[in-house]
Chains A and B, each alone.
Chain A
Amino acid sequence: MNQASRRLRAIFIAVPSLTMVAVLVLPAIGGLRLSFDHNGAASLHYYREMFRDAMFWRALINNLILPIGSLIVEFAVGLGLALVLTARPKRSRLVEVAAILPFAIPEIVILTLARYLLMPRGYVNAALVAAHLHALPWISPSAWLAMVSVIVVDAWHVTPIVMLMLIAGLETIPPELYEAAALDGAGPIAAFRYVTLPMLTPAIIGALVLRGIDALRIFSTVLVLTGAEGVPVLSTYAYGLWSDSQLPREAMAASMILALLVTIIGIGGLAAARKWAPRQTGLA
């Protein structure tokens, strides 16, 4: 059985892996070469040009601020919802479906909706005016408020994923631990602090790494809400260079900086997850 089945397994690994490499990795390598190619010679020309562009530095900084902001919101709300949904023996089906729904809706639909809610004469401003408050420029390009809007909308769509990952973590905590804590006189806050939080840490780290890698690649939220240059991030900056300015090499240079950023943070995060949360990330 061994020889023949080993050969089959080798083929079964090779065919899908090579497909992914050919479609996803090879183009990225081609793009890397393109970004260093200036009139046929290897050169840092496009990178030097880019480092002189103020828009690039704004995109780079936003590409760190927005993911961090989004992670904070989605983990705070996600943890809260996970605790609400696991607190009672009988779960509220309505809250459960409502909590998962934003994730079920296609991303572009969520963003379309967000645009109608936040545009200058949209529903949010209508509600503010009805409450005798001032209308606010929620998605005006360059406003700091637009960054808040991007963070909240990004978190809105993905909080259910965080919630589901944390619920899975919460469900592995043995109920006996809570019974023991209650016998020792621990109130709900002490039980959370000394039982839930330590037991949940691996799930939180695992979720943080997976979500963090995804959050760094933020693209559609920014593009749909504010346009490519309203609140630039590296993806939309590269997209603008390619699609509006027809500058593929400059665009590749920018996207390679993003790839570098994701790879460094991703490899660091995956190593951390392997150490502290091997089961949650399937890296055991």
Chain B
Amino acid sequence: MGAAANGAGMSALTQRRTRAALEAARWILSALAIIAALVPLYLLVKQSITPELETFAWPPKWYPHHLTPAHFETIFAVGELRGALIRSIGVGVGSAAAATILGAMLAYAMARGPSGRKIGFAAVSGTRLLPMISVAIPLGIALAMLDLYDQPSAIGLAIVHCAIAVPTAALTLYAAFAAIAPEIEEAAWLDGASPLRIFLSVDLPMARGAIAAAFVLCFILSWDEFGFALLLQQTNRTLPPLLYYYTTFGNVGPASALAVLMMIPAVIVVIALGPVLRGSTLATGTR
């Protein structure tokens, strides 16, 4: 075996050096991960609670010198932001609820039959091939014709977010439905329940943990989504495009406060939902 010859051929000294080098590499990578995650976050939080002068100073201040709640007060005082916050929550809850229902239907059909599985995976991977921009521009035109473009309620955006979240919901729920033993459904069938009744009162309650996880994941997907929101809500913005405008037009303080605010639900959910999220991330492989 090549491995054996290779390993045995190494002198003890070389082996020790290799191990030391690997140990060093491990420390460097760990340190890199911690720095890449925490230092930028610290700076963002710092910018959100210090006067803009400290951020614009050259060189910029690394530590807060004066603390101020002004930026958070600003973003809550400005009507544009309050509207965006409510809109983001509304779009998120509405699209996540609809996507979870549709995703549950698809996942159930995928878990209960080979043809359903094939069509389901084809739909899920097929829609993934469409670039956002090729959909968003003509969709904007179509929504304008239906009078749904850039509505204050952001109904058009909610419909899109629902459609792009269905694969996430379906892949999160698929394993849960597949894990339900067929004997349980058969027992309900022998008791005279219809297939729809079995789905509603046997399968759905048994999968409720996964359903909650799917809903939360779809909500986060919508909360974070930037491209469609930018193109479809040009004036009645949700939070991500609003943050984009604040950033590009140089409102450092409010932009940082808004960024901190946007981060909170996502970070809580990802850390709390770690294992579930991991499963669905592995299945979709997308951001």
Contacts and interface: CB of A to CB of B under 8 A. Distances in A.
B231 interface: yes
A172 to B, nearest CB: 12
A34 B130 CA distance: 17
Nearest to A158: B287
A121 interface: yes
Interface string B35-53: 0111011011001000000
Q: Which 6 A-B pairs have the closest CB atoms?
A: A210-B285, A104-B270, A31-B138, A184-B4, A23-B163, A186-B7
The prevalent SS among residues of A at the interface is helix
Nearest to B32: A77
Contacts of A210: 284-286
Interface residues of B, number: 107
B130 A24 contact: yes
B3 A190 contact: yes
A12 B108 contact: yes
A188 B18 contact: yes
Q: Indicate the size class of the contact surface on chain A.
A: 35 or more
Contact of B19 (A13, A188, A234): A188
Given A17-B123, A105-B266, A193-B6, 5 more contacts: A4-B195, A81-B29, A112-B259, A113-B259, A220-B226
B159 A84 contact: no
A54 B164 CA distance: 33
Contact of B102 (A15, A25, A234, A243): A15
Contacts of A15: 102, 105
Nearest to A264: B129
Contacts of A126: 58-60, 62
A130 B19 contact: no
B128 interface: yes
Given A20-B127, A95-B33, A184-B3, A13 B116 contact: yes
A207 interface: yes
B218 interface: no
Interface string B99-142: 00011011011001100100111010101111111110111011
Contact of B18 (A100, A187, A256): A187
A95 B34 contact: yes
Contacts of B108: 9, 12
B30 A92 contact: yes
A103 B270 contact: yes
B181 interface: no
Interface in A209-244: 210-211, 213-214, 216-217, 219-220, 223-224, 234-235, 238-239, 242-243
B138 A252 contact: yes
A221 to B, nearest CB: 10
A12 B282 contact: no
B7 A165 contact: no
Nearest to A248: B137
Given A108-B226, A214-B286, A87 B7 contact: no
A232 to B, nearest CB: 13
Interface string B144-177: 0000000000000001101110110011000000
Contact of A16 (B33, B59, B170): B170
Interface in A176-219: 181, 184-191, 193-195, 206-207, 210-211, 213-214, 216-217, 219
Interface string B177-191: 000000000100100
Contact of A28 (B6, B55, B135): B135
A258 B131 CA distance: 7
B134 A157 contact: no
B44 A16 contact: no
A161 B8 CA distance: 37
Contact of A106 (B18, B60, B142, B223): B223
A187 B239 CA distance: 52
A16 B33 CA distance: 39
B137 A251 contact: yes
Contact of B240 (A98, A106, A121, A219): A106
Interface in A97-129: 97-109, 111-117, 121-123, 126, 129
Given A12-B108, A24-B130, A255-B131, A106 B262 contact: yes
A117 B8 CA distance: 48
B63 interface: no
A60 interface: no
B81 interface: no
A239 B287 contact: no
Given A27-B139, A164-B278, A187-B15, A103 B287 contact: yes
Contacts of B60: 121-123, 126
B4 A211 contact: no
A40 interface: no
With most chain B CB atoms within 10 A of its CB, the pick from A104, A188, A207 is: A104
B281 A107 contact: no
A258 B134 contact: yes
Interface string B234-277: 00000010011001100010011001001100110111001000
Contacts of A30: 138, 141-142
A195 B8 CA distance: 16
B36 A102 contact: yes
